[in-house]
Structure 1
Amino acid sequence: MKFGINTIQIEAADAVIIPVMHKEFEKIEGFENTIKHLFDTEKFKAECGEIFVLSSLKNDNYQNIVFVGIGKEKEVSGEKIRNAFSKAIKKCRELKVEKVFVNNIEIEGLNCNQVINAMVEGIGFGDYKFDKYKTDKKEQKDIEISIGNVPSEKDVKEYVSEAVTLVQATLFARDLVNEPANVMTPKALAKAASNAGKECGFKVEVFDKAQIKELNMKAFLSVTAGSENPPRLIVMKYFGDKDSKEILGLVGKGLTYDSGGYSIKTNSGMVTMKSDMGGGAAVIGAISAIAKRKLKVNVVAVVAACENLISGGAYKPGDIIGSMAGKTIEVLSTDAEGRLTLADAVYYAVSKENVTRVVDIATLTGAALTALGITTTAVVANDKNFYSELEKASFKSGEKMWQLPAFDEYKKLIKSDIADLKNTGGKFAGTITAGLFIGEFAQKKPWLHLDIAGTAWRDNEDGYYSKGGTGAGVRTLYYLAKNE
């Protein structure tokens, strides 16, 4: 898909997408009477995501006018625009068009950048599908998108460029998650990160099992012990501000497959466990966007990639294992494995890469789904200012976040009678105790834990999300790094 500004005249387009607000027909120059008639006859009410198509022949060209509702002006948000435009581009695909003119619109309460960004993201995300393994699939033709009626062509080009980068990075993360686990092994994930580094401009170092052992990452290695596919520690570095000593650490859970180990999952619980590296995919996507946009910031991203399987050498409930930090851990469940890999990865980022602040992101707990469903990412934090920056980034991306409490009483739940820590805190407050377990390895640095267990995957098409991986976290982490 190719985006441009005023690259197609409205008369030459196969389709024209016109966003319409409820009863605000005066704002659509050239289509005021048509929209008023649609409102008066109640054929179109401009409800968010509502589509109405008018088709006609003009100069021997068949043209479709795609009116897309975005709701009442005072209620319009970036998310509503994304969802509406994802439906509009799907309608364009149905109409088999190749050239689309998008009419920009002024919306009270949103600046031009927010509107353009949401339009581009809605189109880019809505046009995505993962069908590479279908033998009878038809190749989709590229659609050329031209955005018109813009206030400043130079500024809007920059807005579109950033939005396209974020679309590409997010869809890259979706692709990584959607690949089956027999393809997306730890080695393959490391290769994908290396290729992204070459393309986008960040350095990648990949540690093999022997090197991981030299680092004394005992918790990480315990999780990998049951698999024949060896682990990889993926370390990605981008230094865009040589004058600053501040380094943002991004640590993503990289379980390319999770059976639960001896605390085995049900068959239905295992089917989607190729997605357990959604956090790893998010940080790879985020640093790709950060580097491509050449942000003035220093970032180190870390992914401890492995599989959690069963064999005679696999770790077991009741085992006591070590960690890179020297803390001992009582394993109460081998299905609480992500926090073990993240413990070593977070400690590595702090102790070896000298990050000054660290964010970990992981598909970690079913409790996050129970508490917040599939719309909101759960957050555990130890620093108010850092969380405030995350809130600001979340507002820009439209990805909903919610902070959970982290009182000292919760920390008592992960203390072990026979080791320093235990890897589950019992049946209560599971998302909080899992996060606080990882926080024990952050060395008191400003730290955020993002549990995307609910937001990283969709069982069905939902708005601008296709079925499968969502790429959750990529855009929020990008805006957190940008911090404007």
Structure 2
Amino acid sequence: MKIHLREASSIENSDGLIVCTGNDLDVSKAYGLPIEHLKQKETFEGKIGEVQFMTLVQQEKLQDVALIGVGNSEKFCETKFIKSLGEAIKGLKKKKVSHIVLDLKALSSVAVVDKKLQKLIFSALIMSDYEFNDYKTDAKPSTLETISVLGNDLDESCLNEGVILGETNVFSRYLTNMPANIMTPDQLAKIAKDYVQPYGLEIEIKDENQIEALGMHAYFAVAKASANPPRLIVMRHMGAPESDKRLALVGKGLTYDSGGLSIKPTASMVTMKDDMGGASAVIAAMGAIARLDIKANVIGIVAACENMISGLSYKPGDIISSMGGKSIYIGNTDAEGRLTLIDAVTYGLNEEKATHVVDIATLTGAAIHCLGSVASPVVTNNDDFYHIVEKSFNKADEKVWKMPVFDAYKELVKHDQADLTNTAGAPGTITAGIFIGEFAKDVPWVHIDIAGTAFKDKASGIYSKGGTGSGAIPLVYLAKKMTK
């Protein structure tokens, strides 16, 4: 699907029309059509977030129309507007339209259509066109071919970047949605290589022997029970070789999580192909960082593996080591993600000399109880760095919220038989983050738990059912901020 900017207000040669407006009369005036030519079921008030579909009849032709309410300057909300734009695209796609005209001109009367909002709009158009149906034998390809955008002072550079960001989100969702019998650690590594290499990224993939030789004992303890061996994926974009700053993006890469010997119930295992949502975000973001030629040094790290059951499984009650040198008591084998992440974080510090670290992971079910599916909880050791991360998420219209890290919580991750325990108990989202933080040393570090935001049970707005690509676009914005 292609997007291009147009200055004219003609709606000819299109079978779909999306109009930002305050009421239905604006449509008739804008296109010189009598109001009786707009066939609708109910009154459209033009409130922010309101969407209504109708049919435009002109010259014996029918055109499917979606009205999007923009409200007024006091009540305008970017999040509601982008959601309604997604609903409009999806609604017109159901009507099999091929060419859509999106008229944004009325938007400038209630909002400042700055570069941030333009990028949100253009990326939303790409994101709204995606759905996962790769394995449906009767799947029909999208009929949507082009979207022509009309507006005041729209920027071609914003369009180009917005499209890249939208494609970044879609690629992240694709990786997350792939079934685990196909998206094994090795396959994830191969796809990552094929994805990032054309953009000039350096990528290194380490096998199980190299992982073990590096002393990544915690990561390997999780991985060794599976017939599908682990793969450590390291991607490097050295866009500022003269700079000492190095940002490590660490994504949890559990391509499948059965829970191990602390096995999950079946209902909880069905969606565990998405337990690599953090890895998906990092891989997709690294591709975009290279495509945009961001002048920063960024290293993407994914410790990909499966948490399975065999005679080689690590067990509750075990005490294992880690690349960071700390011993860990295993209270539950289903608290595995943090074990892979601590070795990946240590690798970033020791081997890649990272000066700043962000880890992103579908880590705890407790994250859903904390903030639901609206925002991702964060644990950090550096408020200044957190605020940079927060701004990056806000720019992408995604939300994070910092959790408290009290000394009493830090005591919970300690154990009487080992340095640490992987199951510190409630508050589980916070103690899981603190556990990872034990390996970040004094380096500015932010942990983002996307367990509640990485997956949707049903389509909504710009998202389809399945993976959401949570974090992918914000990580690109974060890389940009590292240039300052």
Whether the 8 Å CA contact 1:325–1:347 is kept in 2: the answer is yes
Shift of 1:35: 8.1
Task: Tell me how far apart the structure 2 counterparts of residues 29 and 385 of structure 1 sit (CA, whole Å).
Answer: 50
1:144 offset after TM fit, Å?
0.6
For the structure 1 residues 24 and 433, does the alpha-carbon distance in structure 2 shift closer, same or farther, using more than 3 Å as the test? farther
Structure 1, residues 407-431: CA drift from partner, whole Å, max 9, x if none? 22111000010111110112x1100
Matched with 1:220 is: 219
1:257-310 Cα offsets, whole Å, 9 max, x none, are 000011111100000000000000010111111111111111001000000001
Secondary structure at 2:289 match in 1 = helix
Normalised to the residue count of structure 1, the TM-score between the two structures is 0.94
Q: By how many angstroms is 1:350 displaced?
A: 0.8
Deviation at 1:318, TM superposition (A): 0.3
2:94 corresponds to 1:94: yes
Read off the aligned partner of 1:410 and give its amino acid letter. Answer: Y
Report if the CA contact (8 A) 1:380-1:449 is conserved.
yes
d(CA) in 2 for partners of 1:34 and 1:375? 42
- Deviation string 1:198-232 (CA, Å, 9 cap, x unpaired) is 23331110000010011010000000121010000
Distance in 1 (alpha carbons) for counterparts of 2:278 and 2:109: 34
Aligned twin of 1:351: 350
Question: Following superposition of structure 1 onto structure 2, how do residues 39-50 of structure 1 map, counting pairs within 5 Å?
Answer: 43-47=43-47, 48-50=49-51
* Stretches (4+) displaced over 4 A: 23-29, 31-38
**1:12 paired to 2:18:** no
Q: Secondary structure at the match of 1:63?
A: strand
The worse-fitting range, judged by mean Cα deviation, of 331-340 and 142-151 is: 142-151
CA shift for structure 1 position 63 = 2.9
Counterpart in the other structure of 1:125 = 127
Q: Residues 24 and 42 of structure 1: is their aligned pair in 2 closer, same or farther, counting only changes over 3 Å?
A: closer
| Greater displacement, 453-462 / 313-322 | 453-462
Give the counterpart letter for 1:225 in structure 2.
Answer: K
**One-letter code aligned to 1:18:** V
SS of the counterpart of 1:64?
strand
Do structure 1's residue 149 and structure 2's residue 148 form an aligned pair? no
SS of match in other structure, 2:310: coil
1:341 aligns with 2:340: yes
Q: Distance in 1 between the 2:168 and 2:140 partners?
A: 24
What corresponds to 2:468 in structure 1? Answer: 470
Deviation at 1:392, TM superposition (A): 1.1
CA distance in 2, matches of 1:34, 1:464: 32
Offset of residue 463 of structure 1: 2.2
- What's the counterpart of residue 79 of structure 2? 79
- Deviation at residue 42 of structure 1 after TM alignment: 5.9
Give the Å deviation of 1:329: 0.5
* Contact persistence 1:51–1:66 (CA under 8 A): yes
8 A contact 1:382–1:447 mirrored in 2: yes
Cα offset for 1:102?
A: 1.2
Other structure's SS at 2:342 match: helix
Provide the C-alpha distance between the structure 1 equivalents of 2:345 and 2:198, rounded to a whole number of angstroms: 26
Matches within 5 A, 1:10-409: 10-21=11-22, 30=30, 43-47=43-47, 48-58=49-59, 61-104=61-104, 105-152=107-154, 156-409=155-408
8 Å Cα contact 2:87/2:460 also seen in 1: no
CA shift in 2, pair 1:37/1:380, >3 Å: farther
Which segment is superposed worse, 360-369 or 385-394? Answer: 385-394
Which residue identity is paired with 1:55? L
Going from structure 1 to structure 2, the CA distance change for 1:248 and 1:391 (only over 3 Å counts) comes to same
Question: 1:350 touches 1:443 (CA, 8 Å); kept in 2?
Answer: no
Q: Which runs of 5+ in 1 are unaligned?
A: none
CA distance in 2, matches of 1:113, 1:145: 19
Report the Cα distance in structure 1 between the residues aligned to 2:325 and 2:41, rounded to whole angstroms.
72
After superposition, give the CA deviation of every residue in 1:84-105 in whole Å (9 maximum; x if it has no partner).
Answer: 1111111221232211111123
Structure 1 CA distance for aligned equivalents of residues 329 and 33 of structure 2? 71
Percent identical across equivalent pairs? 45
Change beyond 3 A, Cα 1:169–1:35: farther
**Which stretch of structure 1 is more off in the superposition, 185-194 or 29-38?**
29-38
Once residues 404 and 178 of structure 2 are traced to their aligned partners in structure 1, the CA distance between those partners, rounded to angstroms, is 35
Aligned counterpart in structure 2 of residue 450 of structure 1, from 448, 451, 456: 448
| 3-state SS of 2:101 partner | strand
1:274 alignment partner AA: K
The one-letter code of the counterpart of 1:182 is: N
TM-score by length of structure 2 reads: 0.94
- Deviations 1:215-262 (CA, angstroms, capped at 9, x unpaired): 010000000121010000000000111221101110000000000011
**AA at the equivalent of 2:466:** G
Q: Tell me whether 1:433 sits opposite 2:431 in the alignment.
A: yes
Contact (CA 8 Å) 2:55, 2:62: kept in 1 or not? Answer: no
Residue aligning to 2:458: 460
The code of the aligned residue for 2:142 comes to: Q
Given that residues 19 and 68 in structure 1 are in contact (C-alpha distance below 8 angstroms), is that contact kept between their aligned partners in structure 2?
yes
With 42-51 and 399-408 compared, the bigger mean Cα shift is at: 42-51
Deviation at 1:61, TM superposition (A): 4.8
SS at match of 1:145: strand
- Opposite residue 476 of structure 1, the aligned amino acid is P
Give RMSD over aligned pairs: 2.3
* Superposed displacement of residue 336, structure 1: 0.3
Q: Rate the CA distance shift 1:217–1:41 in 2: closer, same or farther, 3 A.
A: closer
Per-residue deviation, residues 385-426 of structure 1 (Å, max 9, x unmatched): 111111211211111111001122111000010111110112
Distance 1:393 1:25 in 2: 38
Cα distance in 1 for residues equivalent to 2:280 and 2:162: 19
Q: Measure the CA separation in 1 of the matches of 2:126 and 2:232.
A: 31
3-state DSSP of counterpart to 1:300 = strand
Greater mean deviation of Cα atoms: 194-203 or 232-241: 194-203
User: How far apart, CA to CA, are the structure 2 residues paired with 1:28 and 1:397?
Assistant: 34
Query: Are the equivalent residues in 2 in contact too, given 1:49–1:87 (CA < 8 A)?
Result: no
Contact persistence 2:71–2:110 (CA under 8 A): no
Q: What letter is aligned with 2:417? A: I
Q: Runs of 5+ in structure 2 lacking a partner?
A: none
Q: Secondary structure at the match of 1:472?
A: coil
How far apart, CA to CA, are the structure 1 residues paired with 2:283 and 2:28? 41
Distance 1:41 1:338, change over 3 A: closer
Structure 2 counterpart SS, 1:106 = helix
Q: Which amino acid aligns with 1:458?
A: K
